[in-house]
Amino acid sequence: MAAGLELRLLFTTAAVVHLAACNGDTKGSAAVLFPASDMTYLSYSDQHGVQIEYLAPSGKTYLWYPGNRAVVAGEWTEVLDRVCYRYGADTFNPVTRRQGGDWECRFTDILAEANLDALAGDPFDLSTTELVPSDLGKCEVPSKFALERIPTCSAK
């Protein structure tokens, strides 16, 4: 991670979303299965805004969070009916005001409610770069996604 970059992150009350069916298109499409490795998920919550997260087959996760200049790397795993995440101790969640470093688990079905779209693989190269592709606004949806629904979003 690049030194001196402010990291703000979500501990995922709604960080990840449903799996998209891979149909060979460059655009995503909504489906019902979540989570799956080697998928990039787009989620939305009023508190955090739009977030994009790549779940790597290795158990690593890479988060593109609104306002961050750097990709936030972490870990993910499934435990029964929950998905668990752990980001570095040097990270901070601006919504919950909590420091990173510990595992946080949420029920899969609750996380799935934030579903907007998903893409196969790592189309934004989040796992191989330190800096995010662009400054992601709270309501911004990258054009690679084809949303099933567009959230009512207020960029406050």
Nearest Cα residue to 70 out of 141, 152, 136, 144: 136
Nearest Cα residue to 50 out of 4, 20, 14: 14
Q: Would the CA dihedral through 62, 28, 142, 13 be positive or negative?
A: negative
C-alpha 93/C-alpha 132 separation (Å) is: 18
Nearest Cα residue to 60 out of 39, 41, 76: 76
C-alpha 111/C-alpha 134 separation (Å) is: 25
Residue 86 pLDDT more than 90? yes
Contact 83, 75 (CB under 8 A): no
pLDDT attached to residue 51? 93
Domain boundaries, the chain: 1-143
The counts of H helices and E strands in the chain are: 1, 9
pLDDT attached to residue 105? 93
Residue 18 pLDDT more than 60? no
Predicted confidence (pLDDT) per residue in 25-67, tens digit = 345 544 546 799 999 999 888 888 899 999 999 999 999 999 8
- What pTM does this model have? 0.77
C-alpha 64/C-alpha 10 separation (Å) is: 10
Predicted confidence (pLDDT) per residue in 98-137, tens digit = 899 999 999 998 888 887 889 999 999 999 999 999 988 8
pLDDT attached to residue 94? 87
